A and B are shown apart, each in its own frame.
Chain A
Amino acid sequence: MGKGEVRRVAEPYDTELGAAVARAQEGDEDAFAFVYDLVQPRLLGYLRGMVGDEADDVASDAWLEIARDIGRFRGDGAGFRGWSATIARHRALDHLRRQKSRPRATLLEQDLLETPGRSDTAGEALESLSTGQALALIATLPQDQAEAVLLRVVVGLDGPAAARVLGKRPGAVRTAAHRGLRRLAQQVAPRSTGAVTNPAARTLGSAR
């Protein structure tokens, strides 16, 4: 197994993102739209892993806050991804608290049940994995592992940034990401037939 060490990913667009954020802070709406287009897809992926099919609503709330507070932000493009992920996470946790007592079938569970059977070669099956199915699989992990994996892989944060978003020490997040990835690797390994269609699959929301 690997070391769980997901190397820092300097997103190719981080420089542009940082510049656009700076212009948006001056009130440039086009720049803000550009920031949105760069950041939103991954933020949404993270939120889908967190709250399933409510992700759109939560993302909408998060963007209201991002739009309002963008002038307060200090940092570069990579920093902005961390800052915005923190806001999104808080909104997601708020949402999960509100929803705690309301178990529900989510789109993600649906996705999960429709995951291709494991009789064909693993490679082919996984090639055809939808984003929703992949996120649903990640969401079956314990929450700390799922969040670590989502922030590292989906949002593309480096270890220290992910740790700051989660309010944890970098070592703890590294360990959680490692465990999560190892667990996922076991789940999708060719020999573990049927693991993907785990009926106990759930989103983080219903896990709480």
Chain B
Amino acid sequence: MLQTLLPILIFAALALGAAGAVRRIRLWRQGQRTPMVWRRLLLMPRRYLNDLHHIVARDKAMAHTHVATAGGFVAAMALALVVHGFGWRNPILGGLLLAASAVMFVGALAVNRRRLNSPTRPFPRKLSRGPWQRLSKSLIAYSLGMFLVSLPIVGFTPGNLVGVAPTVLGGGVLAIVLAAVLVWGLLEMLVGMGWGGPMKHAFAGSFHLAFHRRPERFDDNHPDASPKKTHDVHRGSRSTALFPLDLTAKTLGVEKPADFQWEQLLGFDACVQCGRCQSVCPAYAAGQPLNPKKLIQDMVVGMAGGSDARYAGSGHPQQAGGIDVGKPGFGHHRGGPSDAIVPQLVEAQTLWACTTCRACVEECPMMIEHVDAIVDMRRFITLERGETPEKGAAAIDNLIATDNPGGLDNASRLDWAADLEIPRIQDRPEGVDVLLWLGDGAFDMRNQRTLRSLVKILRAGGVDFAVLGEEERDSGDVARRLGDEATFQRLAERNIATLSRYRFARIVTADPHSFHVLGREYGAFGGDYVVRHHSTFIAELFDGGRISVAAPAQAETVTYHDPCYLGRYNGEFAAPRQVLAALGVDVVEMERSGYRSRCCGGGGGAALSDVPGRARIPDMRMEDVRTTGATTVAVACPQCTAMLEGVVEPRPRILDLAELVAEALVEPAPAVPETSTSSPSREEEPA
């Protein structure tokens, strides 16, 4: 009976699943369309095995589980098609099918075990319940059912097993039970895959990998790619520049799900709700109303239409649904492909809580681009609705009026250096080696100390450098992250026009945000420069023997805080550590460091939107520092410095790498050249 039923079941499930898949593709294609090049699906297997799996493999147990479950399923499904679907009941194939089912079964048990809730092993908060909880049972059902139903092919029958010939009645009952288990498994695995069950992730994920908007993330030979593959840094370019917005478009930014690029909708749909993003999101940890996992699910709800009632994971803190798994209360947020997202589906505060730190993107095994989506939606709020939160709006107004977010006279950008007599590039028509880009930290007294230290280092290293002075404008970073693409593009174009008038080999800056924007994002507007963060440049000065430092007088323990825009955005993890090593201080690493560094809370305009939470992100970060026992935290970003110094004392001291180096310089060049030798009073003969 099963022999006749099975092919029907399999093909019916496949057909139903395929129908669902067509509908699913249509849902994705509600987004802004680019041609769908089917050929790109061929890219998928390599991207899966090489790139995606590399991220999954950061959690070894989960990686093995997934290999067993997914590998077992794919093999078992293919073999089942041949053996049961087309009826080629070859014992060898049957044996392979049994083996594949068994492997999948073992994997399924591990999946299930992970999701048990016991006093010693509580259910992981990052995971979702609901259909995802069911999936582990379905996997068991499918693999067990497929195993049992395939036993006869290699000569085993239930009768053989129990030693008695099955009665017709007994065999019938068993067959019905087995058929039911198989139907359950096939419904979940094949029908569910097409119709939005948890297995959708395999289908959407495969397409997402194939049609990913940032193909360079998979390109190991990209110029930006990590130099070598390590166990925790995935390969490919970090591809972190935001996509430019066409300012002539009818609607600016994303108002409704259909305004996203279709690949973005596809990407959201690939989410497996594993909650890795939730675990690393600083805003979520601080109890601000943002859970990146929920946000992606909100996007799926919007794409498919309906409410978030069926969502069974942690919600956005402070909002209905609470932060506890399974707490009822979802369902208040509704959306549809052509309905405005904010505030019905996602509240604006959720979008403004993001620090754009990319920790979620870095961790996402499905390589979903959360930050792009958030900025797309911010663009609409800022450019179409003019509803940037208060201090953000003020910063933008200032940028428009004064070219810097503080609303200060841009000509005062060099005030802090009035006594340093820094050469201006305007006076160096022949060009300089280094253009020192000051950034808006030049207006901040705290950061001026960093800049003075950097100038001291450059002088000690005999670096030929100059500054733009009042001609330098804000890079546009904050405007862009706050969604004001128009102001960003205006600033970018004007800075590029300014830079085009002068000759320099490279730009050096102590501001990772300027570093990122100038180095990564100006290219789209015709500004291509060699840009070095000061940590990289100082490491080069050490390497070249151009500066040297004295050994520390007293033993000091230092930890290093990776700025997001230097580390995760641009992959520079090594140079700052080389600098610290050159200083000879004891370095201890925080648990969250390198690519997993926790944001200071100051990126993406979050310091301006200042969304309230349970805790402050910099306080949490300082707690990470304190845990190491370090007395100093070395920083490499003005924003991180400001955020961390906002933590109440007593706390470890906060010093920029440049300050640490300048402090230790041997035979430091005078902070100021001996003006007396160049003063006209000395050169003129007395009358």
Are A and B physically bound partners? no
Interface residues in chain B, defined as those with a beta carbon under 8 Å from any beta carbon in chain A: none
Interface residues in chain A, defined as those with a beta carbon under 8 Å from any beta carbon in chain B: none
